[in-house]
Structure 1
Amino acid sequence: MISPFNLHHQNNEIDSKIVVALERLSEAFRVLLWNESKLTSLSPIQIQILIFLLFQPVEKCRVSYLAKEFNMSKPTISDSVKSLLAKGLIQRNDDALDSRSFTVSLTETGKLTAIQSADFTRSIENPVSLLAPQQKEIMLDGLLKIIQELNKAEIITVQRMCFTCTHYRVHDSGHYCKLLQMQLAYKEIRTDCPEHEAISL
């Protein structure tokens, strides 16, 4: 059977080795997130929501956007939001123009929890920091291209990186942002940009 997990196939195909390596990394993220959830007595998705609210602009802090961001149903996200409200970690902000619409934001307690939890990836950041600059650029380039293709296939539904933005251009001289009106070094390519405007598919 042809599968990345078939060892005979895997050992002879670099594509399969990369896929399995990415799967191992995803497992590391899951373990770290579960460990953090034990410390905070929150579910992994509740931790992810708190971290999202800590760093993202208020217009994105709605149940509908959170559902798209985390590829989950609105009822599932709503349950997590209700739990966080009950625990006093977030607060509801009603829309003055639409009584059915609201955003959520962190309380002071929620902010402290989010700041502490946002560091859960440190164990992965440390080995990344040991890579040579050129290795980092090659790795980033490959990962962004994989993410871009997964976004096109609608497997990753929300994406805010340069490659999927209407402002991004490639010139002979390299990467360019029309919004910032400047050339971008590869290390300046963003994986999560607040000014991102998605390309219409």
Structure 2
Amino acid sequence: METPTVPKSLPLRIHEGLERVATALRADDWVSARAAGVNPTQFAIMAVLEGRAMGMSVRDIALQLGVSQPSATDSIAALERKGYLIRSPAPQDRRSVRIMLTDHGQASLTAAHATRSVAERAARSLDARQQEDLLVSLVTMIRHLQETGVIPVQRMCVSCRYFRPYAHADAAQPHHCSFVDAAFGQHELRVDCREHETADPSYRAATWAEFQKDQPLNPPGL
């Protein structure tokens, strides 16, 4: 078959590239899940609960992972039997239940994380500027997915009420986190922060507009 003279659209080729990366990540997840003695869905549930001191509802876990609530319930029950998770009444509503990671579950998760290396090795093949540009691109794509309702709001800097973009003149550390009251650089943007508190939609839109103002312009044709 001859190579097409007109290539596929750039967004489609990016989609294809992300699929290839996702294939490697899924293989990595299987390795990590086996190390923790669970399957990939159960491992994903443990990972999404990591750092959430108040736990999560079954519904929110299912939404975060894009699985059905019955599927999440079955996996949670299996993890409870292993001693990795516990159920606890919600502080504000004793009729509601929160799912929480146990110390045993955290220890197993931490040990399993040590086996994950495929994506990190691939990222290290990029130089520092390329890594930073990729991080910003990923944050932009994730934000689009969450703001269009495809995925729930993620614990990223750009969706947090503590984020102050370009609050400082220092090009190396232009942003500010009000939670820790400290400046930080573009390469330090978080995709999943434990101290994250979701900002309201109007604040998220305003900070994103400010964040975008000082981003490098796209080259012609993109």
Q: Same fold (TM over 0.5)?
A: yes
Q: Deviations over 1:64-118 (max 9, x none)?
A: 3312321223322111111111233323334577443333344454334222322
- CA 1:9–1:78 in structure 2 vs 1: closer, same or farther (change >3 Å)? farther
Partner residue in 2 for 1:4? none
What root-mean-square deviation, in Å, do the aligned CA atoms of Structure 1 and Structure 2 show? 2.7
Distance 1:9 1:150 in 2: 32
Determine which of 74, 80, 87 is the counterpart of 1:85. 80
Distance 1:16 1:95 in 2: 44
Distance 1:19 1:103 in 2: 36
Partner residue in 2 for 1:50? 46
Structure 2 unmatched ranges of 5 or more: 202-222
Is 2:122 aligned against 1:147? no
What is the number of residues matched between the two proteins?
Answer: 194
Q: If the length of structure 2 is used for normalisation, what is the TM-score?
A: 0.73
- Residue 45 of structure 1: how far off its partner (Å): 1.2
Is 2:106 aligned against 1:111? yes
Distance 2:100 2:25 in 1: 25
Letter paired with 2:178: K
- CA 1:10–1:165 in structure 2 vs 1: closer, same or farther (change >3 Å)? farther
- Residue 176 of structure 1: how far off its partner (Å): 2.6
Distance 1:159 1:132 in 2: 27
- Residue 13 of structure 1: how far off its partner (Å): 3.4
Letter paired with 1:70: L
- Residue 175 of structure 1: how far off its partner (Å): 2.3
Answer yes or no: is the 8 Å Cα contact 2:57–2:97 preserved in 1.
yes
What SS does the aligned partner of 2:165 have? strand
Identify the range of structure 1 (100-109 vs 44-53) with the bigger mean alpha-carbon deviation.
100-109
Answer yes or no: is the 8 Å Cα contact 1:68–1:158 preserved in 2.
no
Q: Deviations over 1:7-27 (max 9, x none)?
A: 849835333222211111112
Instruction: Output aligned runs, 1:30-41, within 5 Å.
Output: 30-38=26-34, 40-41=36-37
**Identical aligned residues as a percent:** 27
Q: If the length of structure 1 is used for normalisation, what is the TM-score?
A: 0.80
- CA 1:84–1:10 in structure 2 vs 1: closer, same or farther (change >3 Å)? farther
What SS does the aligned partner of 2:54 have? helix
Letter paired with 1:189: L
What SS does the aligned partner of 1:92 have? strand
Partner residue in 2 for 1:17? 13
Distance 1:167 1:96 in 2: 24
Structure 1 unmatched ranges of 5 or more: 1-6
Answer yes or no: is the 8 Å Cα contact 1:60–1:66 preserved in 2.
no
